[in-house]
Amino acid sequence: MPQYDLIVIGTGPGGYVCAIRAAQLGMKVAVVEKRATHGGTCLNVGCIPSKALLHASELYEEAGHGFAGMGIKVQPELDLPALLAFKDEGVEGNVKGVEFLLKKNKIDAYHGLGTIEAAGKVKVTPDKGEPQTLETKAIVIATGSEVTSLPGIEIDEKKVVSSTGALSLPEVPKRLVLIGGGVIGLELGSVWRRLGAEVTVVEFLDRIVPTEDQEISKQFQRILQKQGMTFKMSSKVTGVEPAGEGLKVTVEPAKGGDAETLEADVVLVCVGRRPNTEGLGLDEIGVERDEKGRVKTDGHFKTNVDGIYAIGDVISGPMLAHKAEEEGVAIAESLAGQAGHVNYDVIPSVVYTYPEIASVGKTEEELKEAGVAYKVGKFPFLANGRAKVNRTTDGFVKILADAKTDRVLGVHMIGPDVGNMIAEAALGMEFGASAEDIARTCHAHPTLPEAVKEAALAVDGRAIHM
């Protein structure tokens, strides 16, 4: 029976990073992955393929509508099979990269369903062949999350699709109805709108991306509407039925009222994700879960069963790949006797639409609810020289700082390339930066990050270019 110091179940961003860090620290490590390829949802059917489609569709739309204003005359032609092949090539490169890294770090990889038989024992059941039991000192559950469906609405990945099916539609739908106004749905909805679909978003709440700062959410919806998306807020989908070659979607007000019917060629269901724990054997060995099905852990990723730990989407906290990676490193270091730690107050999040949304730290609503006195500094991209000359002026940067200490408590951005710009804010907050610290840091000109400096200056009411 093979013996290991650590077995990681799942090789998404949290799992494979955890395994690599543990191997770096001298442990004998194995990973168990039920997919044929490594990388989890993120690399196979999530973050990576969706970003490829977002990038390609953004260039397509820019060529068709933005180039002419810069004196470049072209008439782009969509080759959807080639675009999807471009996406698949990117996915293949990434998953092969993870496979290479595991081999480089001398990590044994087993493919099959990983079931925890007891503390220290993992049974691997492959699609073909006999099950095998592995022994280990520690087990880390890193099995991620899966799509949440709506009761009464069957996802067939053809006409009614999840985020997975939406990555590979064989043709551009004329009418796409998107159920849910969250991050994943709006990113994929943006892709197909740029490629020619009429997109209608049905959202149960009164605003989209509800976890973002409210001012960001409102501005975001206005921009998406200007781009051509239609929104039905405070509404719910109560039925999806075939109608000829298309679908009929029944929509009602969230608080009750008269129903209406929307016609669609494709319905995309994006109402959230749930932890993926099926087949792990958690109930049989007594691993506790919460009311949402997430594995319960203490402050050091330990479950109630000795020797079993959990990280990533399968435990509480934001379902973000980089959050899982940080947890993977932290538990590996902790198992090696080091001080593994994750600062959950400084985990950035990004929405990769155009314009992008990026945020880190507290929102205004959270600060108000907590009774924290704060100051606000805002700076619009309309007043940024680089954004102005590039005609990418939608959006702003907003910095929230403690009213007494000036320490930065939250940074929220909507605009061009803010997914990259948020790293500056996260780094500053990790080291306890004040708005004054950011304001006095020299930023290169002409660049978009100058908007961060100006927002920091605005906290003290002394922005230069506004």
| Catalytic sites, residue numbers | 445
- The structure tokens listed for 290 are 């919460």
Provide the 10 A C-beta neighbour count for residue 203: 25
Phi, psi values for residue 342, rounded to 5°: -125, 130
404 neighbors 374 (Cβ within 8 angstroms) = no
Side-chain-side CA neighbours of residue 30 (13 Å)? 24
- Please give the Cα distance from 416 to 393 (Å, whole number): 8
Q: Where are the alpha helices (DSSP H) in 70-164?
A: 80-104
Considering only CA atoms, which of 336, 357, 341, 258 is closest in space to residue 300? 341
Which residues are CB-contacts of 362 (< 8 A; sequence separation ≥ 6)? 370, 372, 400, 409, 410
Residue with tokens 């969706």: 50
Question: What's the CA dihedral at 146, 272, 289, 312 to 10 degrees?
Answer: 70
What's the start-to-end Cα distance of the chain, in Å?
69
The alpha carbon of residue 291 and the mean position of all alpha carbons in its chain are separated, in whole angstroms, by: 23
- Whole-angstrom distance, CA of residue 168 vs CA of residue 27: 40
Q: Which helix (H) or strand (E) holds 379?
A: strand 374-380
- 115: which 2 tokens? 């079931």
